């Protein structure tokens, strides 16, 4: 059983690998769809992240590791020289404000569409099983299709894409990287048996289904060292048709296997209201896996200042990440510390507003003392 003193709270410093964080308030990765042409970060992205540099740690929005990895329009990438330079502006600006920032590495897998792929190719996945739902594409909303099931040699190519992206993130000046192993994207698709029906060494048993995730971790850690690599997991996510016949066993095995890498952290998502309404899912998540994982654990999912302090005091997490509260409150740690009201997020402006108004609902939320926007 893990136990943290009740003196430990959101404002306590913590050592994350070689990095000292001044507090345990993490800015969660949030897709905002405001990159420029070719997935290149723009100056507004640098402003947005630097405004939130008082977080103990910033984790960026999910970022494409390759052209093949794309599943949404206006997402940033980390596979071209121009993208690396765009992110360098972000990291330089955050560091000038005294912040620390990890890049989230991402491959959508089957959560894509041929109209988003180079030369209209099929998206890829462990198995040719389509996810339910529609995506915004250049042609409007389109239903997802049955993906191409990756062959063994192609799997090794994707792992190499993750490694190259990790190298590019290092060149762009990040302090570390987080692997997006959650929310029904490619790493998660390999892990869960609802989306992985393979019969080779990457399918079937939990050991085989976890193989892709663990090989990606190994490849990225070969660039950064394990103590600057994190991974986000969502054992109870039901979005994009995700399901596993035994999530406690699947994620328990995987989390235990991650112990050997000496990671910076694992980042666990609690179920959302939609997950709980869809079916009987594992809840709560962090307390279930805290006894298995020997390293640092970040909890995510609807936390407030009060519930964040509570999970830290219980020892079921070491840090807490906040999404929408950080989206709407660039000075969230200060507001928590002073116990003052928070700005309310505007869902209508969560996602990209186009190249003419990138600041709307993005960099225009007021700080304490500012006039209301």
Residues 6+ apart with CB under 8 A from 86: 35, 36, 40, 41, 42, 45, 76
Q: Report the 10 Å Cβ neighbour count for 165.
A: 28
Strand, helix or coil for residue 162:
helix
Strand, helix or coil for residue 335:
helix
Identify any residues that bridge with 26 across adjacent strands, giving them in sequence order: 57, 321
Identify any residues that bridge with 231 across adjacent strands, giving them in sequence order: 179, 266
Active site residue 185: yes
- Distance from C-alpha of 268 to C-alpha of 240, rounded to nearest angstrom: 18
- Distance from C-alpha of 100 to C-alpha of 154, rounded to nearest angstrom: 34
Residues 6+ apart with CB under 8 A from 226: 261, 262, 263, 264
- The residue from 48, 79, 185, 293 that is catalytic is 185
Cβ atoms of residues 122 and 145 within 8 Å: yes
Q: Report the 10 Å Cβ neighbour count for 29.
A: 24
Which positions are catalytic? 185
């Amino acid at each position: 059983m893990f136990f943290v003193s009740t003196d430990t709270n959101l404002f306590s410093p913590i050592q994350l690998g070689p990095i000292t964080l001044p507090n345990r308030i993490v800015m969660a990765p949030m897709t905002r769809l405001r990159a420029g042409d070719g997935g290149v970060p723009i100056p507004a992205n640098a402003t947005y992240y630097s405004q939130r540099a008082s977080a103990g740690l910033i984790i960026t929005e999910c970022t494409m590791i390759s052209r093949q990895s794309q599943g949404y329009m206006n997402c940033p990438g980390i596979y071209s020289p121009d993208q690396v330079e765009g992110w360098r502006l972000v990291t330089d600006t955050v560091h000038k404000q005294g912040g620390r920032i990890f890049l989230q590495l991402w491959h959508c897998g089957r959560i894509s569409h041929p109209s988003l792929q180079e030369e209209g190719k099929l998206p890829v996945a462990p198995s040719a099983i389509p996810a339910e739902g529609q995506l915004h594409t250049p042609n409007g909303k389109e239903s997802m299709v049955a993906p191409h099931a990756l062959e063994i040699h192609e799997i090794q190519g994707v792992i190499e894409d993750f490694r190259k992206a990790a190298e590019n993130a290092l060149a762009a000046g990040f302090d570390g990287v987080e692997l997006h192993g959650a929310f029904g994207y490619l790493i998660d698709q390999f892990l869960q048996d609802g989306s992985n029906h393979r019969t080779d060494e990457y399918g079937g048993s939990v050991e085989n289904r976890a193989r892709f995730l663990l090989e990606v971790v190994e490849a990225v850690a070969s660039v950064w060292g394990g103590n600057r690599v994190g991974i986000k997991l969502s054992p109870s996510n039901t979005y994009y048709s995700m399901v596993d016949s035994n999530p406690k066993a699947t994620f328990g095995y995987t989390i235990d296997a991650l112990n050997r890498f000496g990671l910076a952290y694992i980042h666990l998502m609690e179920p959302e209201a939609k997950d709980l309404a869809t079916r009987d899912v594992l809840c709560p998540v962090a307390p279930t896996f805290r006894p298995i994982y020997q390293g640092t654990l970040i909890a995510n999912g609807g936390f407030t200042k009060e519930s964040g302090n509570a999970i830290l005091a219980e020892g079921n997490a070491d840090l807490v990440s906040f999404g929408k509260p950080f989206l709407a409150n660039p000075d969230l740690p200060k507001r928590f510390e002073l116990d003052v009201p928070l700005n309310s997020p505007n869902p209508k402006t969560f996602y990209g507003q186009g190249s003419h108004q990138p600041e709307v609902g993005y960099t225009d939320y007021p700080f304490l003392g500012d006039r209301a926007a």
